[in-house]
Amino acid sequence: QKEVEQDPGPLSVPEGAIVSLNCTYSNSAFQYFMWYRQYSRKGPELLMYTYSSGNKEDGRFTAQVDKSSKYISLFIRDSQPSDSATYLCAMSAGIRSYGKLTFGQGTILTVHP
Amino acid sequence: NAGVTQTPKFRVLKTGQSMTLLCAQDMNHEYMYWYRQDPGMGLRLIHYSVGEGTTAKGEVPDGYNVSRLKKQNFLLGLESAAPSQTSVYFCASSYRGGRAGELFFGEGSRLTVL
Which pLDDT tens digit goes with each residue over A37-71?
999 999 999 999 998 888 999 999 999 999 999 99
B94·A99 Cβ contact <8 A = yes
Chain mean pLDDT for chain A: 93
**Mean pLDDT to the nearest integer, B18-24:** 97
Which chain B residue has its CA at the smallest distance from A105's CA? B42
DSSP state of B31: E
A88·B43 Cβ contact <8 A = yes
Residues B45, B56: Cα–Cα separation, whole Å: 11
Which string of DSSP letters, residue by residue, matches A50-62? Answer: EESSEEEEETTEE
Contacts of B42 in chain A (CB under 8 A): 4, 6, 88, 103-106
B90·A92 Cβ contact <8 A = no
DSSP state of B14: -
Residues A33, B68: Cα–Cα separation, whole Å: 28
When CB atoms are compared, the residue of B40, B90, B105 closest to A8 is B40
A101·B106 Cβ contact <8 A = no
How many Å lie between the alpha carbon of B103 and the closest alpha carbon of chain A? 7
- Burial grade of B114 (CB within 10 A; 0-12, 13-18, 19 or more): exposed
In this predicted structure, what is the pLDDT of residue A93?
86
How many Å lie between the alpha carbon of A18 and the closest alpha carbon of chain B? 24
Cα dihedral value A65, B36, B52, B54, nearest 10: 90
Kindly list the residues of chain B whose beta carbon comes within 8 Å of any beta carbon in chain A: 4, 31, 33, 40-45, 48, 50, 58, 90, 92, 94, 99-103, 105-108
In this predicted structure, what is the pLDDT of residue B1?
65
The answer to whether residue A100 scores a pLDDT higher than 90 is: no
Residues B35, B12: Cα–Cα separation, whole Å: 19
Whether A57 contacts A12, CB under 8 Å: no
The answer to whether residue A1 scores a pLDDT higher than 80 is: no
**Mean pLDDT to the nearest integer, A21-49:** 95
Provide the pLDDT confidence category of residue A97 given band limits of 50, 70 and 90.
low
